[in-house]
Amino acid sequence: MKKGTIIAMTILSTMAALPSAQAAFVVGGENGWQFTTDGFINVFATYESVDERPAGVTGGSLGLDTDVEGQQQFRVRTGLLPVGIGFNIKSPTIKEVDYAVRLGLYPQVQNDNGSRTEINPNIDFREIYFTADGKFGQFLAGRAINLYQSKNILTDMTLFGVGVVGPLPNGPTMGHIGYGYLYPNFGAQFRYTTPDLSGVKVAFSVNDTNDIGAATKKNIPRLEAEVSYATTFTGGKMQAWLEGLYQTAGFTSGPRDGGHATSLGGATGVQVFLGNLELLASGYGGRALGMLGMQGDDATDAVGKERYNWGFLAQTTYQLTPEWKLGINYGQSRAEETDADKVDVNSHIKMQHAAVGAVTYNINKNWQVMAEYTWAQDKWFNGDKQNGNMVALGTFFYW
């Protein structure tokens, strides 16, 4: 999958991840059916200054691969989250089971390429699914956020900000995607989640397949799983998770024609709230994962060999008052060099890392404003570097 496509599809979120969101309109019938809507709008003014891209390198996410000159750019746009508009239909309880359907639309506010004549705001149908909830747990079928690394991104504070701006003009920004975790994407799946077992939940999904780098023959489903634990205690609460991914795909041409690539990954994290203080640490690692979007073009090298990838994110936030919140985080993503990479005439990306500082002010329960500063750097195996500095000022309105 191309980098631009990955970023264009970026980012989240399911409304369950939005603590301020709740159904604003409820329409009910006498037979027990209900229709509700929820959502949010975010708009940011962003300015980025990115160094000139080194020549003779591949990979990197601060600028387009073809962009050699440095870039300075001001935009008014959405942040890591697009605009979200959700429509929900809930059935009456039928034999102790509750059924629901969700349709989530996620458009942008900015025009394509920043041109007034290219009015293509990128409408993304991320969520189209139904659920059945009962004593057995939950069954989900449809298009929803994938399990693997979902909690890594949903706990990142830049989910409600900007983070790394990235090169694509008409999609969301990147937050820490490729700079601390990978984009889990939204995909077609069947998923089962157990009931709450004293704070423990286990989820397992059978998913639509992805290409794994240059391996495009896909006759085995992609499997993902998650084990999570959540609890509260005097003065605080915490959650922890462990997630996994497995898929194989075959090569139909090239030096590994007839062979297979295997994508195998693990991810974990712990988030603790102690009064007004939040502490977060998350990480991931595995084979053939890619540096930006899951199992992207760079998951395999020029001869079809799987690359190894890993990364982490550390974060601290503090709620000064009910209105003011401060936050800082740092993340990095890395790729290991293969034998083919070492003899390639172009140097391959080694590390992408970024640090973000943010201030948020809640005007009321529906409206907040925030300011961010982001420093980011891409580094290649030959020692070349590209730095970027980004500032953002914006607002969220929830309903």
Question: Tell me: the pLDDT tens digits for 55-74?
Answer: 899 998 886 544 555 688 89
- Give the pLDDT mean for 362-376: 97
Q: How confident is the model at residue 293 (pLDDT cuts 50, 70, 90)?
A: confident
Q: Measured between alpha carbons, how far is 298 from 290 in angstroms, rounded to an integer?
A: 5
163 burial type by CB count under 10 A (0-12 exposed, 13-18 middle, 19+ buried): buried
- pTM: predicted TM-score of the whole model, two decimal places: 0.90
Q: How confident is the model at residue 11 (pLDDT cuts 50, 70, 90)?
A: very low
Q: What percent of the chain has pLDDT over 70?
A: 90
CB 61 within 8 A of CB 291: yes
Average pLDDT, the chain: 90
- Which residues have CB under 8 Å from 332's CB, separation 6+? 179, 180, 311, 312, 351, 352, 353, 354
Instruction: Tell whether the model's pLDDT for residue 94 goes beyond 90.
Output: yes
197-221 pLDDT, tens digit per residue, is 999 999 999 999 999 999 999 988 9
More confident residue, 123 or 159: 159
Nearest to residue 93, comparing CAs of 50, 132, 147?
132
Continuous segment of H or E residues that includes residue 352: strand 347-362
pLDDT of amino acid 26? 73
Question: Could you please report the per-residue DSSP string of 133-180?
Answer: EETTEEEEEEEEE-STTHHHHHT-GGGGS-BB--S-SSS---BTBTTT
Q: What percent of the chain has pLDDT over 90?
A: 76
Instruction: Tell whether the model's pLDDT for residue 114 goes beyond 80.
Output: no
Q: Measured between alpha carbons, how far is 339 from 346 in angstroms, rounded to an integer?
A: 13
pLDDT of amino acid 61? 87
CA 394 to chain centroid: 20
Structural domains of the chain, with CATH: 3-398 (2.40.160.10)
| Angle made by CA atoms 61, 63, 65, in degrees to the nearest 5 | 85
- Give the pLDDT mean for 343-350: 92
136-173 pLDDT, tens digit per residue, is 999 999 999 999 999 999 999 999 999 999 877 778 89
- Give the pLDDT mean for 254-258: 87
Q: Measured between alpha carbons, how far is 297 from 289 in angstroms, rounded to an integer?
A: 10
Q: Measured between alpha carbons, how far is 37 from 53 in angstroms, rounded to an integer?
A: 44
More confident residue, 272 or 63: 272
Q: Which amino acid, one-letter code, is at 257?
A: D
pLDDT of amino acid 6? 40
Nearest to residue 231, comparing CAs of 195, 196, 276?
196
Q: Which amino acid, one-letter code, is at 112?
A: D
pLDDT of amino acid 331? 98
pLDDT of amino acid 2? 45
pLDDT of amino acid 124? 82
